[in-house]
Chain A
Amino acid sequence: MSEFADVAIGVWTLRWRRFRRHRTGMASLFILGVLVAFVLAAFPLQYFMGIDPDVTDLFARFDPPSAQHLLGMDEAGRDVLIRLMIGGQISLLVGVLATLVGGIIGVLVGVAAGYFGGRLDGVLMRFTDGMIALPLLPLLIVLGAIDLTKLGFSSDFAHSGAAGFWRIVVIISIVDWTAIARLVRAATLQIRERDYVRAARASGGSALYMMGTHILPNIATPIIVSFTLTVGRVILFESVLSFLGFGVVPPTPSWGNMLNNAQELVTTAPALAVYPGLLIFVTVIAVNFLGDGLQHAFDPRSERTP
């Protein structure tokens, strides 16, 4: 039943109104906007100031901030600011891509299990439960340690930066799809029994038609919220793996691997340990608050959080 029966304005207009009243949600949207602008600022900075993020200068190690290098230099004499920006691009991109890939896996598994039910449902859900029970980080580390040449990739590719990037997207997405799968399954089970789905089935609609036309559009809102919250979790996974040396590999920077050496340097250059972690923290908390705000906006019964 629709709660908007008497109001002739679009659902999305209403949602946007509700979201705007959610202070932390709005603040997060703003902060995320600023963060995206920040990481994209790497391009003009590189272009106009002529700073190369990969060039090392051993005479400039740990140089303090200056007009040319606003946040100073790191342990290899590279500009900290530009590496933060580019690292942010990588971290955010991994967050979004792995969420999309894992989310698609989760949606497919969840819809199939929920729609077809029966034995397929049983098998898929046992599998999902098994995945949920696993300690993810050790598993991710093993996956991160896999030698790509043993899987038949060329040695050149296996040691390239692109391989490091795509490897982390793939391993996080094959591990982190279970929450979405369960959610989508539960939502599908509800929608499947609606009469409009029955009516379409009586008219001869194929399973694919039903999922695409009736089920997915009607469970879009929980999926959106869940995707948002997953982005935060994925960014954390990426940072942890890169920090431990199993994720994005240097010289390609990511917020995680910039903290790689920070532990030994924490006495000499504490700032190097503070910046990347702070950016991860701010990004993830903003993403989580955004998810909370969306949840509030989409669910008319939900409690207001400050």
Chain B
Amino acid sequence: MSELLGIDDVSVHFPAAGGRVVRAVEQVSLSIAAGETLALVGESGSGKSTLGFAVAGLQAPTSGGLRFEGVPLTASTWPAARRKIQIVFQDPFGALDPRMPISSIIAEPLLIQRIGTAESRRARAAELVAQVGLPRDALNRYPHEFSGGQRQRIAIARALSPAPRLIVADEPLSALDVSIQSQVLNLMKEVQETHALSYLFISHDLAVVNHLVDRVAVLYLGRLVEVADRAALFAAPAHHYTRALLDAVPRIGRRRARHGGTIKGEMPSPLNPPSGCVFHTRCPRAEALCGAEVPVLRALSDVQSVACHFPLGSE
């Protein structure tokens, strides 16, 4: 498969009080193929949303760069790329301007990018409203008249309007009721097929990820700790942190399997990350080496890479 988006050694740092630095994302490299769905998984504070914002052009990387359709994204190439990379947010109540009718919301990316005429944009909005399964009269109504699930459909329609190649979906389901989640998930699958889309699907919930994605990237404290095909990751996680995340997923008909103990404590502050492997303070397998040396991401197989000195299944 050809690469659609390349993330090359991207770091995002924020200045904090007292001259300190929050290392929200640290030297992450990833790529997304055309038509592929990559999940970005981690706890809150892992930097997954920050990385998503960087991909959506909302946050400039401190170092490293992005490549889209083979072209490095710079100040001069971003404007053209923006119509091809869209974003869907978590909170369907905050994602739609309460003072805009739905038709304007959906057509906004076209308006901003000056694509088509006012008339063709309205037509496009009407077409998309039907595609995402909303009644046609939704066009002239306002966001407050819709439920959470309907709003998320509107947000998806908005993202689809400029015919993008990649949609960054920042926890698009977690604010929705469980019964609505599957509907929206199905809609996302459906439009992926009809529009030949790639997704960067950000989530803290591995159960949801299992239904949609091709590959999974696991972030911890801004570092990429494991990236693997979905099947490989779920069958045999290589990183102790991935294992812990998988264990936390409740599954019907199965007792919680505990492998090698749970992880202790809370995630350290990204202001003051641990030395060596950032996970060593909570890792059941940690040794002296882990606190001293940063593990590099290395390939275990064609479909699985891990950043760990002592990966699972290798001993």
Residue ID in chain A nearest B79 by CB atoms: A204
Contact A218 B86 (CB under 8 A): no
Q: Is residue B274 contacting chain A, with contact meaning CB distance below 8 A?
A: no
Inter-chain CA distance A4–B93, complex, in Å, is: 12
- A198-B89, A201-B58, A203-B113 known; A2-B143 Cβ under 8 A: yes
Interface size class of B (residues with CB under 8 A): 20 to 34
Q: Is residue A217 contacting chain B, with contact meaning CB distance below 8 A?
A: yes
Contact A196 B112 (CB under 8 A): no
The stretch among B96-104, B181-189, B223-231, B236-244 that forms the contact with chain A is B96-104
Q: Is residue B270 contacting chain A, with contact meaning CB distance below 8 A?
A: no
Interface size on A, residues (CB 8 A): 21
- A4-B144, A196-B96 known; A204-B87 Cβ under 8 A: no
Q: Is residue B162 contacting chain A, with contact meaning CB distance below 8 A?
A: yes
Inter-chain CA distance A201–B57, complex, in Å, is: 8
Contact A204 B89 (CB under 8 A): no
Residues of B contacting A196 with CB < 8 Å?
94-97, 105
Contact B145 A203 (CB under 8 A): no
- A199-B87, A203-B82, A204-B83 known; A194-B94 Cβ under 8 A: yes
Q: Is residue A136 contacting chain B, with contact meaning CB distance below 8 A?
A: no
Inter-chain CA distance A191–B155, complex, in Å, is: 18
Residues of B contacting A201 with CB < 8 Å?
57-58
Q: Is residue B26 contacting chain A, with contact meaning CB distance below 8 A?
A: no
Contact A204 B144 (CB under 8 A): no
Residues of A contacting B36 with CB < 8 Å?
none
Residues of A contacting B113 with CB < 8 Å?
203-204
- A203-B86, A204-B82, A204-B83 known; A195-B58 Cβ under 8 A: no
Contact A198 B58 (CB under 8 A): yes
Contact B83 A203 (CB under 8 A): yes
Inter-chain CA distance A217–B101, complex, in Å, is: 13
Q: Is residue B109 contacting chain A, with contact meaning CB distance below 8 A?
A: yes
Contact A218 B112 (CB under 8 A): no
CB distance from A57 to the nearest CB of B (A): 58
Q: Is residue B85 contacting chain A, with contact meaning CB distance below 8 A?
A: yes
- Within A200-250, which residues are at the interface with B (CB < 8 Å)? 200-205, 209, 213-214, 217-218
Q: Is residue A5 contacting chain B, with contact meaning CB distance below 8 A?
A: yes
Residue ID in chain A nearest B141 by CB atoms: A8
Contact B82 A202 (CB under 8 A): yes
Residues of A contacting B143 with CB < 8 Å?
2
Residues of A within 8 A of B (CB): 1-2, 4-5, 8, 194-196, 198-205, 209, 213-214, 217-218
Residues of B within 8 A of A (CB): 53, 56-58, 78-79, 82-83, 85-87, 89-91, 93-100, 105, 108-109, 112-113, 143-145, 155, 158, 162
Can you sample 8 A-B contacts with CB below 8 Å?
A194-B97, A195-B95, A196-B94, A198-B53, A199-B89, A202-B82, A203-B82, A205-B112
Q: What are the 9 A-B residue pairs with the smallest beta carbon separation, nearest first?
A: A2-B144, A195-B89, A204-B82, A203-B109, A195-B95, A196-B97, A195-B94, A202-B56, A217-B99
